[in-house]
Amino acid sequence: MILLLVAEALARPDVVYWEPGRRTDVLFVELSEPAPRDRAVWSGDRKWRDLDRVIGPARVSPVAASLPRFLRVDAPDAELVATELLADARVKDVWLAFAPMPPPADLDPITPDFRPDQTWLDAFPGLGFTEAGRWPGGSGANVTIADIEYGWDESHEDLEAAIGASAWGMNQALYQYHGNSVLGQLVGGVNGYGVDGAVPGALPLVVSPFREDGAYDIAAAIAGATELLRAGDVILIEQQSYANGDYCPVSVDPAVFAAIEAAVAAGIVVVEPGGNGGQDLDAPSWDGWFDRDHDPGSILVGGGSSPGSGFPERSWYPLGSSHGARVDVQGWYTGIVTATSGEYGTYFADLYYPNEDGRQAYTQTFGGTSGASPMITAIAAIAQSVSIELTGEPWSPAALRAALVATGTPQVGEYLIGPQPDLRRLLRTYFLP
């Protein structure tokens, strides 16, 4: 009796019934053998001509060239068509199309909405991301962002957009708090809990600087990301190097410098953190390496004092990022609310960490040039996406960098870290008639 029930359960039903979560106007068909790709061929073959009669006047299209046995059928009476197809020996299976479902809800306990604390998303003294929703393409939907990270944890409740985003290299699961925080700034879910990403419509890719053989190679990671992207996309290099006694930009490495040049030449915007060593890039000890006439084309990001930091807003944060004439623009160096991980307990998960569950970990203290750079990356991605939507093509990396500087709010103080970009001013300056 048990075997009979199992057999009945596995047998194909005679009738297709609608249920919540399914569509009644679209169905999918799996054939017992590949169908001709050109539907005009069907009329010359009785086998396919008869099947065409069963399907009727509905619009039939292949699912994909690589799936020749699967068809999509658009029909207002999809349930009836499906039931009739089930009786045909040439048909292996039929099902009503699944309707889009909302993403998984907030984990228990309910996570608060931290969006009001993400003041860097707001208009000045923030960077003006609230302007993005007024523009076609303002979500970043036309752009891919490759984030070069040591590691991250895709189980976080607010990083659904980045599930399966690992695209090159070996995720070493190192510093997952860092990767989660950066991705939270970029593509955190706009879902009413946790944090909002600044560019939630962009496609995120996570690239590891660890090659398949285990070697740490930032230049290879940039080159690998470049091969995956197209003109108008953005690479964010979430790494820093060590030279002249402290942290500095990764382009101090000649191979990385060349990899950035190649990416920029391909039309890809490269965002490079200035590093957190507080170094003067104009100092004679650099022998002109960071002079303006020796420039790979990246947007070099400095760290400025944020509101509430105790220092003048948009001034160089003491002992913070590198500074100098080569630094293009600045983001906030401290006080960034974003996602994190449970990797180091409450040390980083200092805002919310219920039941010590890293999937619900949030911080209010992310920063450094690692936190400033995603802000610039998001503005660059939105500007590119809007440009593609309105003009059909993206900015060149050089033109976009110049526009960010020209429309930014000037810095404060003598240490050169560049202006703070203003998305609202940028879009209205270059895209309004």
Residue 58 sits in a domain whose CATH number is 3.30.70.80
Predicted local distance difference test score (pLDDT) of residue 26: 87
The residue ranking higher by pLDDT, 41 or 181, is 181
Q: Is residue 6, in this structure, part of any structural domain at all? A: no
Q: What is the pLDDT of residue 47?
A: 67
389 and 262 within one domain: yes
pLDDT over 90 (residue 105): no
pLDDT average, residue stretch 249-263: 94
In the predicted model, is pLDDT for residue 170 greater than 50? yes
pLDDT of 353 over the 60 cut: yes
Final residue of a domain: which of 98, 131, 148? Answer: 98
78 and 144 inside one domain: no
Stronger pLDDT, 39 or 210, i.e. the higher one = 210
Note the pLDDT of residue 74: 87
Whole-number pLDDT of residue 234: 98
Instruction: Please give the backbone phi and psi of residue 269, each rounded to the nearest 5 degrees, phi first.
Output: -80, 130
Q: Which residue has the higher pLDDT, 190 or 21?
A: 190
For residue 5, pLDDT beyond 70: no
C-beta of residue 66 within 8 angstroms of C-beta of residue 123: no
DSSP 3-state of 128: coil
Which one has a higher pLDDT value, 426 or 77?
A: 426
Q: What confidence tens digit (pLDDT) does each residue in 270-307 have?
A: 999 999 999 999 999 999 999 999 999 999 999 999 99
| pLDDT at res. 6 | 30
Please check whether residue 150 lies inside any domain of the structure: yes
Kindly state the tokens that stand for 229.
Answer: 């992207």
pTM of the model: 0.77
Q: Any idea which residue has 């009413």 for tokens?
A: 192
Secondary structure (3-state) at 29: strand
**Statement to judge: residues 124 and 53 lie in one domain:** no
Pairing state between β 269-273 and 299-304: parallel
Element (H, E) at 104: none
Q: Burial level of 360, CB count in 10 A (0-12/13-18/19+)?
A: buried
201 lies in the same domain as 143? yes
CA angle (10 as vertex; 9, 15 as ends), nearest 5: 75
Say if 106 falls within a structural domain: no
Residue 431 has pLDDT above 70, yes or no: yes
* Beta bridge pairs of residue 304: 316, 332
Does residue 129 have a pLDDT over 90? Answer: yes
Please report the sign of the dihedral spanned by the C-alpha atoms of residue 314, residue 318, residue 321, residue 323.
positive
DSSP code at position 30: E
Sign, CA dihedral 334-335-339-343, equals positive
At which of 39, 67, 98 does a domain end? 98
What distances in angstroms separate CA 412 from CA 310, 313, 423, one per listed residue? Answer: 14, 7, 19
User: Are 138 and 61 in a shared domain?
Assistant: no
Residue 46 CB neighbour total at 10 angstroms: 9
- Residue 107: which pLDDT band, with cuts at 50, 70 and 90? confident
Res 227 pLDDT > 50: yes
Does residue 395 form part of some domain?
yes
Mean pLDDT across the stretch 146-169?
A: 92
Number of domains in the chain: 2
256 and 154 co-located in one domain: yes
Is 201 in the same domain as 321? yes
Q: Output the domain CATH number for residue 215.
A: 3.40.50.200
Do 33 and 158 fall into the same domain? no
In whole angstroms, what separates CA 140 from the centre of its chain?
A: 9
The mean pLDDT value for 49-62 works out to 73
Tell whether 183 and 47 lie within a shared domain.
Answer: no
> Is residue 191 in a domain?
yes
- Pull the structure tokens for residue 294: 């020796």
Distance CA 378, CA 145 (A): 9
Task: Give the dihedral of Cα atoms 260, 265, 271, 275; nearest 10 deg.
Answer: 30
Residue 4 is predicted with a pLDDT of 29
CA atoms within 13 A on the CB side of 235: 39
CA distance 304 to 316: 5
Mean per-residue pLDDT over the chain, rounded: 89
**Of 47, 66, 98, which marks where a domain is finished?**
98
Q: Are residues 24 and 133 in the same domain?
A: no
**What pLDDT is stored for residue 88 in this prediction?**
84
| Contact of 252 with 243, CB cutoff 8 Å | yes
Report yes or no on 345 lying in a domain.
yes
DSSP state of 392: S
Confidence of residue 239 (pLDDT cuts 50, 70, 90): very high
In this model, does residue 258 exceed pLDDT 80? yes
User: Taking 60 as the threshold, does the pLDDT of residue 103 lie above it?
Assistant: no
Q: Looking at the structure, do residues 79 and 167 belong to the same domain, yes or no?
A: no
Range of the domain at 139: 115-431
pLDDT at 62 over 80: no
Mean pLDDT of 374-394: 97
Task: Assess if residue 249 is contained within a domain.
Answer: yes
Q: Does residue 8 lie within any of the structural domains? A: no
* H-run or E-run covering 148: strand 144-148
**Per-residue DSSP letters for 22-83?**
EEEEEEEEEESSPPPSSGGGGGG-HHHHHHHHHHTTSEEEEEETTEEEEEEEE-TTHHHHHH
Residue 218 shares a structural domain with residue 303:
yes
